[in-house]
Amino acid sequence: MKAIVTVKLKDVVLDPQGQAVLGSLSKLGYDFVKDVRVGKVIEIEFDKVRKYDDKIKELTEKLLVNPIIEEYTINYVSEK
């Protein structure tokens, strides 16, 4: 089974990486672009154990996300 964890900076937090991309895009002439925000997508492949969703949530909050400045979503994909 697979968990797709998407981690993004909270909207109120300045995104320097996004601002850098935005600056490059305007230098390249892509003026129609108004804002850019960069986040992480973490794919976790795992064996389907009991209460796996609680465990995935726990390891996400423990290791993958800084809850002060970041927010996350978890989507599950069962593989063929």
CB of 37 to its own copies, least distance (A): 5
Query: CA dist 4 to 50, 58, 60, 78, Å?
Result: 18, 14, 11, 11
Within residues 15-34, the interface with its own copies by CB under 8 A covers 18, 21, 24-25, 28, 30, 32-34
Q: Does 65 bind its own copies (CB under 8 A)?
A: no
Task: Give the Cα separation of 7 and 3 in Å (integer).
Answer: 13
Residue from 16, 38, 53, 77 binding its own copies (CB under 8 A)? 38
- Does 6 participate in binding its own copies (rule CB under 8 A)? yes
Question: Position of tokens 């390249």?
Answer: 28
